[in-house]
Each structure stands twice: as structure tokens, then as C-alpha cells.
Amino acid sequence: MVSESTPSGLAVEENPGAAPRPVRQKVFSGIQPTGNFHLGNYLGAIRNWVAQQSEYDNIFCVVDLHALSQTTSRDTLRENNRNLANMLLASGLDPAQSIIFIQSDVREHTELCWLLSSVTMDGELRRMTQFKDKAGGRGERVSSALLFYPVLQAADILLYDTNLVPVGEDQKQHIELTRDIGARFNARYGETFVLPQPDIKANGARIMSLEDPTKKMSKSDASPNASIALTDDPDTIRRKIRRAVTDSGTEVVAAPDKPALTNLLTIYSLLSNEPIAALEERYAGKGYGAFKTDLAEVVVAAMAPIQARLADLDANPDAARAILSDGADRARARAIFKMAEVRDRMGIGLG
Ligand code: ATP
Ligand code: LTN
């Protein structure tokens, strides 16, 4: 059934004969197991997932099939899947409040991906910024998985009647395409999919590289000093922040012509829950050195509880396995139900 989002954050499902019952909005988001989970992923996405968990009906997914567009080693992918699952749990995702699972465990994602490709234009996929960035002029040597990536992402989202997709800024275009694909399907076959809204926060949606504040902090950056991994030990964090590039001048202020300081102040502000203006005031006239020393300690303190939980989870691999298996069962039950509707709408099989 299609439910409409309301500004109150609640969706109202029709139920003939009964008073309308508010139901929680459905949230879906995914993250690729492609290597070192970094502060940008945490501040732009996962921290928000955790903070909003109790408000919504949530599904969070380790999108290993998406990672196949970049990862070619079997062992690396397995290891990344396990590490990311543990990291999500260590960051505070709670299986009592959220369904957490591995994408490839629910085959309906790939099936819907194929079906949606019939309402997706080749030109739309070639225009995606992420495709253009990652394909980077490699022409014929780019896998078609990289091109198809947003169709699979649309399938992930549309499969679960998702209202809200909490992501970083870089994913906005993919969510817009998801809406276009869903709307086109609905126009052709009748109302089937809920059209999702991106949930992108004003702060933290685009944490920048520590070495080049014009580029986003990215898992695929070749330089380890460009990002802070959530697993970095305190000394590594201190060293990376000490050597992070700054802007010309000496004042600790956020401004359009000070992208490096703006980025560092954003990180500080989000992790300490203090407004940027208060930090600017505190460090007025103190220079970059004192600011960076304190920032490093703020980051170290924020990572400590996550790293402690991660150590426990790493020591007990069966814990995550059971949670993910249960998550896949719960996600599959919803996905099978939706796919029956989609197949029928499209006239697949004998009916
Ligand atoms: P890659 O750079 O290899 O594409 P990634 O670091 O972007 O990887 P993803 O798995 O693609 O990681 O993204 C997971 C989530 O983290 C997404 O919601 C994405 O928008 C968010 N995210 C990624 N990088 C940043 C960043 N620098 N700032 C804020 N959010 C980010
Ligand atoms: N492309 C996303 C990962 C992703 C995703 C999703 C995010 C795959 N499927 C569904 C939100 C909803 C990225 O972050 N790079």
C-alpha cells in the first residue's frame, strides 16, 4: 500500500473501518563494504542513523553487491563485510530498533534491479556524477556494474516502501534518480512504489579530505592521511590532525574562503555538540596549533567507546552473524511481499 509522508514525520496508513493509526516513517540506507570506514561516513550518515533510530521503522544494509563494482578480491570482500557489520553495531545501530542485514542475503534486490532497468534510461545512468567520477575516462574498461549501480540502489530503496533515505550529500543525485525510476514505473504499471525523500543534514553531510579540503573524505582515496578511519589509534588520529592542511591566515574561523578550517570546525562542532560560533570565540587569537591539539582530543574521545565495542564484537564473531541472519529474515519477508506485487503489476509469469 502506498502511504504518504506527512511533515510531522508520521505516515498515516489507510485502514477502512478503523480510526487512522499513525505508523512510523520507513527509513532505508546502505553503506558499501569497500574498506576503511571513516569519519565522513560516520558524521554524514551512520551517526544520524543511530540518533534517529527510535523515531522510525529502519532498515540498514551492508551493500556488498554494490561493492562488486569496485572490489574484485573474494577475501577482501568477505573481510570488509564482516568488519563493516561489526562497525555498524559498534557505532550504535541496535537490532532491537533496526533491521540490519547484508544485501546479497536478500535476492529480491537483484531481481528488482533487473525489472527496474526496463524503466531506466541508459542516458540517465551515464549522466550520474558518481559514475563519471569513478569511471574517470577509463572508457570501455569500466565494468557495467559501475553504470548499473544506481539501478540497484533504486531497487534497495523502492523494495521497502521507503519514505526517507538518510545519506551524505554525494548521494542526493542517486535518490533523485530513484524517485524518477519509481515515478516512471508507477505511471506505466499503476501506483506501486513510495517515492522516497533524501534526508541530508545541514551539517556534516560533506566532510572533506584532510589533505585537500576541496575533495570529500573518501574510502577510495589513495592517501591514508586524507581521512580518519574509525579504527585509527589515538596517536594516528593526533598525527593526522596535526598534519591536516589549513588555510592561509591564523584565525580559527569558518568561511567560504577557508574550506580547511570550516571542515575542521565542523568535525569539532559535531563531535562536541558545540556551535561553530562558540568554538570560533574560544580559539580567537590562539592560532591553529592549540585548536588542532584540542580537536584531536575531541576525536580521540569520540572514537574510544566505538573502538571498545568493536574490540568486543571482533572477539565474538558469532554475535554479528546471528544479528545479520535475523535481519536478513526480517527484510526478506517484506521484500517477498513487495515483489509479488511488482511481478503481478508487470505481468511476469503466468500469474
Ligand atoms: P567511496 O568514496 O569509495 O565512494 P564512501 O566513503 O563515499 O566510499 P559509501 O559507502 O559510498 O562510502 O557511503 C556511505 C555513506 O557515507 C553514504 O551515506 C555517503 O553519503 C556518506 N559519506 C561518504 N563520504 C562522506 C563524506 N565525506 N562526508 C559525509 N558523508 C559521507
Ligand atoms: N550508493 C550509496 C550506498 C547505497 C545506498 C543504498 C544508500 C547503496 N544502496 C540505498 C542509501 C540507500 C553510497 O553511499 N555510496
Statement to judge: residues 28 and 176 lie in one domain: yes
Statement to judge: residues 19 and 113 lie in one domain: yes
Statement to judge: residues 332 and 184 lie in one domain: yes
Statement to judge: residues 143 and 248 lie in one domain: no
Statement to judge: residues 308 and 321 lie in one domain: no
Statement to judge: residues 176 and 278 lie in one domain: no
Statement to judge: residues 333 and 259 lie in one domain: no
Tell me, yes or no, if 201 is annotated catalytic. no
SS3 329: helix
Proportion of the chain above pLDDT 70, given as a percent: 93
Q: Which residues of the chain have pLDDT under 70?
A: 1-22
In a domain, 205, yes or no: no
Q: What is the pLDDT of residue 21?
A: 56
Q: What is the pLDDT of residue 17?
A: 65
State the DSSP code for 43.
Answer: I
Statement to judge: residues 291 and 330 lie in one domain: no
| Catalytic-role residue among 26, 132, 134, 201 | 134
pLDDT in tens, 332-344: 999 999 999 999 9
Report CA(61)–ligand 2 centroid distance (Å).
9
Cell of 123: 542516458
If 0-12 CB within 10 Å is exposed, 13-18 middle and 19+ buried, where does residue 256 land? exposed
In a domain, 218, yes or no: no
In a domain, 210, yes or no: no
Tell me, yes or no, if 216 is annotated catalytic. yes
Could you tell me if 183 and 61 are in contact, meaning their C-beta atoms sit under 8 angstroms apart? no
Q: Which domain holds residue 282?
A: 224-313
Q: Which CATH number goes with the domain that contains 307? A: 1.10.240.10
SS3 59: strand
Cell of 165: 533515505
What's the pTM value of the predicted model, to 2 decimals?
0.91
Written as one string, the DSSP assignment of 97-148 is TEEEEEGGG-THHHHHHHHHHTTS-HHHHHT-HHHHHHHTT-GGGS-HHHHH
Statement to judge: residues 189 and 48 lie in one domain: yes
Tell me, yes or no, if 132 is annotated catalytic. no
Helical ranges in 243-286 per DSSP H: 259-272, 276-282
Statement to judge: residues 53 and 192 lie in one domain: yes
If 0-12 CB within 10 Å is exposed, 13-18 middle and 19+ buried, where does residue 257 land? exposed
Q: What is the pLDDT of residue 320?
A: 94
Statement to judge: residues 76 and 160 lie in one domain: yes
| Catalytic-role residue among 26, 132, 215, 219 | 219
Cell of 67: 561493492
Statement to judge: residues 20 and 102 lie in one domain: yes
Ligand 1 pocket, 41 CB below 6 A? yes
In a domain, 252, yes or no: yes
Question: Which atom number of ligand 1 is nearest to the Cα of residue 206?
Answer: 28
Tally of structural domains, the chain: 2
pLDDT in tens, 206-252: 999 999 999 999 987 889 999 999 999 999 999 999 999 999 989 99
Report CA(29)–ligand 2 centroid distance (Å).
6
Ligand 1 pocket, 205 CB below 6 A? yes
Residue whose Cα lies nearest atom 20 of ligand 1: it is 168
Ligand 2 pocket, 154 CB below 6 A? no
